[in-house]
Amino acid sequence: MLFTGAADAMRRAALAEVAREIRGRDQRQVAVLDVACGTGRFLEQLMDAYPRVSATGADLSPAYAEEAAERLARWPTARVVEANAESLPFADGAFDVAVSIYLFHELPPRVRSIVASEMARLVRPGGLVVFADSIQTGDDPNLDRMLETFPGWFHEPYYASYLATNLDALWSETGLDKEHEMLAFLTKVATYRRAGAR
Ligand SMILES: C[S@@+](CC[C@H](N)C(=O)[O-])C[C@H]1O[C@@H](n2cnc3c(N)ncnc32)[C@H](O)[C@@H]1O
């Protein structure tokens, strides 16, 4: 509703980045983590495209995690865990790609740094973080006024601080290097790589 039906199309901009990462590799050897997977819509897109990828979703909400697990049940290599993104129950470097979609605008500033560090910890050397969330102030000046008024329509206590967050600095502090950035309507997708052989 928030995105007037465009959310799945915008999520696909993140999928394009994951696809770029899988290209030329055996998908069975690729492990993807979706942090705050919600009801699993992104992982469903991923599994539709790459049905043998090893996919893990994590979400704090038991109800969302359950719905995501149901949505993904037909793929044996997909799983969902109920977990806090601040402290995820996976080993260092366990994933080739860690994705997060529409999470960071919901986090208090202090927690944004913790979750970014956690995602950086979980990708292997040479691995990739795919970040997707709301566009920010100045990304499209025609939409600045709408972004400013958005938190007044809904309960979004951290959105205003998100709009002003320097995302590149946030990820740079975790030791990751920026690769790409693109805008997809109301969504910004950016990728950050951990140093090391790919
Ligand atoms: C706006 S929804 C986005 C969900 C999903 N990524 C999508 O694209 O539909 C934000 C999600 O973040 C989850 N969430 C919020 N704080 C979290 C945390 N600390 N750890 C894990 N998940 C969290 C919520 O339960 C919710 O599913």
Q: What is the mean pLDDT of residues 89-115?
A: 98
Q: Is 157 exposed, middle or buried (0-12, 13-18, 19+ CB in 10 A)?
A: exposed
Q: Is 85 in the pocket of ligand 1 (CB under 6 A)?
A: yes
For residue 198, pLDDT beyond 90: no
What pTM was estimated for this model as a whole? 0.97
φ and ψ at residue 193, rounded to 5 degrees: -115, 140
Q: Is 38 in the pocket of ligand 1 (CB under 6 A)?
A: yes
Distance CA 173, CA 178 (A): 11
For residue 164, pLDDT beyond 80: yes
For residue 3, pLDDT beyond 80: no
Give the number of the atom of ligand 1 that is nearest the alpha carbon of residue 111: 19
Does residue 3 or residue 158 have the better pLDDT? 158
Q: What is the mean pLDDT of residues 16-31?
A: 97
Give the number of the atom of ligand 1 that is nearest the alpha carbon of residue 36: 22
Q: Convert 100-109 to b/e letters by CB count within 10 Å (16 or more is b).
A: bbbbbbebee
Element (H, E) at 14: helix 7-22
Give me the pLDDT at residue 1, please: 67
Q: What is the mean pLDDT of residues 69-96?
A: 98
For residue 24, pLDDT beyond 70: yes
Distance from the Cα of residue 64 to its chain's centroid: 16
